[in-house]
């Protein structure tokens, strides 16, 4: 792409994002304002009980929750943090009153083991939050207190991470049917529109044009990568089929684990996004991070992945090709034809699919706020039911 084309690309992306954001926000606010001015509180409360099915309805639910919550605080203690404390908690920022800066619901989000909680803190907690495994008292401190589980593990690899005994009141998982569906999107996806596509014209003649990083061995990963390597070179940096050292890209050294990995992926126009299992709704950062890196994912994963891509032509599916050679030939064609390759990046300037918008919003990036909103929503419904009776 020329400099002029890049500027035009970024301008179109910004315009599209602003336009669609205004449409969503306006429709949500108009709905609330129309109904509250007519004092139709009962109808709004009834709507607050219904689980949303699309992006606009989720925004509407959260806006209504904020309206009825009236700036009351939600206090949540993380009693079992596992990997979350190491990988995600450090990005959070707090106001002077201990609430999160990013949330519309005043949310006190604190790490404290069950053994360290005082009886007063336990009594004042709106919810106790556990990652993967429960760390909970034998009984709740008060009737309305909530026990929350957060797990993104697939059932096939971590059956013990899934609440078979119904211990939890609220579950946040990758499954769209959970109380708080949560995708692996770890960043503000609105920025993805501004990321320029990989420049295939800069590829040297004999260099690999697709990368792969995986540490967890699976039969499919082993067999597929082995097969396609007979047709095209694959830069494999992980322990599975390792053949390339990361030091060939020294600028990727000295970074955090996630940043270093993404730096390596960004050096190639394609990335093999091969999950460790095929489970409904289970798409990890192997898919989502590629959209932030200007590369095209080549996918093997959740059977419904197509339904939540930003656009039908934003990814390539391994299953669409009769064999590894056919896929390799197609990828070789794309790297030699810039116009054809850029077709997979046009989505950045187009209206995004509703399911993609929904999963970008219901994500790891917004997890804390979405959990606090759910606790506040249930509190509102319980208070309204008590008043109504």
45-82 pLDDT, tens digit per residue, is: 999 999 999 999 999 999 999 999 999 999 999 999 99
Q: Is the pLDDT of residue 107 over 50?
A: yes
Question: Comparing C-alpha atoms, which of 20, 149, 92 is closest to residue 369?
Answer: 92
Contacts of 282 (CB under 8 A, 6+ apart): 154, 174, 275, 301, 302
d(CA 16, CA 363): 22
What value does the mean pLDDT take over residues 310-333? 97
Q: Is the pLDDT of residue 7 over 90?
A: no
pLDDT score of 57: 96
pLDDT score of 8: 55
pLDDT band at 40; cut points 50, 70, 90: confident
pLDDT band at 17; cut points 50, 70, 90: very low
Q: Is the pLDDT of residue 38 over 50?
A: no
Q: Is the pLDDT of residue 18 over 70?
A: no
Fold of 192-353: Rossmann fold (3.40.50)
3-state helix, strand, coil split of the chain in percent (to 5) is 45, 10, 40
Choice between 121 and 163, residue whose per-residue pLDDT is larger: 121
pLDDT score of 9: 53
Choice between 38 and 189, residue whose per-residue pLDDT is larger: 189
Equal fold, 71-182+362-389 vs 192-353: yes
What are the sequence ranges of the domains in the chain?
A: 1-70, 71-182+362-389, 192-353
Q: What CATH class is the domain 71-182+362-389?
A: alpha beta
Mean pLDDT over the full length of the chain: 91
What value does the mean pLDDT take over residues 305-326? 97
pLDDT score of 181: 98
What value does the mean pLDDT take over residues 175-202? 95
Choice between 33 and 51, residue whose per-residue pLDDT is larger: 51
Q: Is the pLDDT of residue 282 over 80?
A: yes
Residue-wise pLDDT for 116-136, tens only, equals 999 999 999 999 999 999 999
Contacts of 239 (CB under 8 A, 6+ apart): 214, 215, 217
pLDDT score of 386: 77
Beta bridge partners of 300: 274
CB atoms within 10 A of CB 97: 8
DSSP letter, residue 190: G
């Amino acid at each position: 792409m020329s400099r002029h084309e890049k500027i035009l690309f970024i301008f179109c992306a910004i315009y599209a994002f602003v336009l669609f954001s205004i449409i969503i926000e306006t429709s949500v606010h108009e709905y609330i304002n129309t109904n509250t001015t007519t004092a139709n509180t009962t109808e709004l409360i009834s709507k607050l009980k219904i689980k949303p099915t699309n992006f606009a309805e989720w925004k509407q639910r959260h806006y209504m929750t904020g309206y009825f919550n009236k700036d009351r605080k939600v206090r949540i203690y993380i009693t079992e943090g596992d990997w979350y404390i190491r990988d995600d908690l450090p990005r959070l920022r707090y106001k002077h009153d201990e609430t999160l800066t990013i949330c519309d619901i005043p949310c006190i989000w604190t790490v404290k083991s069950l053994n360290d909680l005082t009886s007063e803190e336990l009594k004042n907690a709106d919810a106790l939050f556990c990652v993967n495994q429960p760390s909970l008292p034998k009984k709740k401190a008060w009737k309305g207190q909530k026990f929350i589980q957060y797990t993104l593990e697939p059932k096939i690899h971590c059956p013990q991470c899934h609440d078979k005994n119904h211990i939890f009141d609220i579950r946040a998982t990758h499954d769209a049917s959970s109380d708080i569906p949560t995708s692996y999107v770890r960043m503000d996806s609105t920025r993805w529109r501004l990321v320029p596509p990989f420049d295939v014209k800069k590829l040297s003649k004999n260099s690999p044009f697709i990368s792969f990083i995986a540490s967890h061995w699976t039969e499919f990963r082993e067999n597929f990568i082995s097969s396609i390597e007979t047709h095209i070179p694959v830069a494999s940096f992980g322990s599975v089929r390792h053949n390339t050292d990361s030091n060939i890209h020294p600028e990727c050294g000295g970074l955090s684990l996630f940043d270093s990995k993404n730096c390596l992926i960004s050096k190639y126009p394609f990335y093999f996004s091969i999950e460790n299992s095929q489970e409904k709704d289970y798409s990890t950062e192997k898919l989502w991070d590629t959209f932030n890196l200007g590369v095209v994912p080549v996918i093997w994963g959740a059977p419904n992945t197509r339904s939540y891509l930003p656009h039908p032509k934003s990814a390539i599916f391994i299953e669409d090709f009769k064999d590894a050679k056919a896929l390799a030939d197609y990828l070789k064609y794309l790297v030699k034809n810039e116009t054809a390759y850029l077709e997979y990046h046009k989505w950045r300037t187009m209206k995004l699919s509703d399911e993609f918008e929904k999963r970008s919003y219901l994500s790891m990036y917004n997890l804390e706020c979405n959990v606090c909103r759910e606790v506040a929503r249930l509190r509102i419904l319980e208070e309204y039911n008590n008043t109504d009776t």
